[in-house]
Amino acid sequence: MHKVLEMINNSHYLYRMTVVHAISLLAPVMGSEITFSILLPALITLSKDIVPNIKFNVAKVLQLLIPIVDHSVSNNMAFQENGPMCKR
């Protein structure tokens, strides 16, 4: 998993797309705690990517993560006034 997350900083967008896809496959297996503490921050980082296709796929994966992470946690992060999803 560590090797996959290292590819977030790769200059080629296909590597970053691979990370998004890998997170979508890893999250259901890893469980709520690891998804929230490791995979969700990686997705938030990728949501700020300059490539629109990556941002779009991050949004789709975030939808898949809602049932995995605790609802109160996901709502709290997404809708905080200064939360990571509100910043550009």
Distance between CA 44 and CA 40 in Å, rounded?
6
Q: In residues, how long is the chain?
A: 88
Would you kindly state where each structural domain of the chain is located, as residue ranges? 2-79
**Residue 42: per-residue pLDDT:** 93
**Residue 3: per-residue pLDDT:** 82
Distance between CA 30 and CA 25 in Å, rounded?
9
Distance between CA 88 and CA 86 in Å, rounded?
7
Task: For the chain, give percent helix, strand, coil, nearest 5.
Answer: 75, 0, 25
Q: What is the pLDDT along the chain (88 residues), one digit of tens a residue?
A: 778 888 899 999 999 999 999 999 999 898 888 888 899 999 999 999 999 999 999 999 999 888 888 665 655 555 555 555 555 5
**Residue 58: per-residue pLDDT:** 96
**Torsion sign over Cα 73, 4, 63, 77:** positive
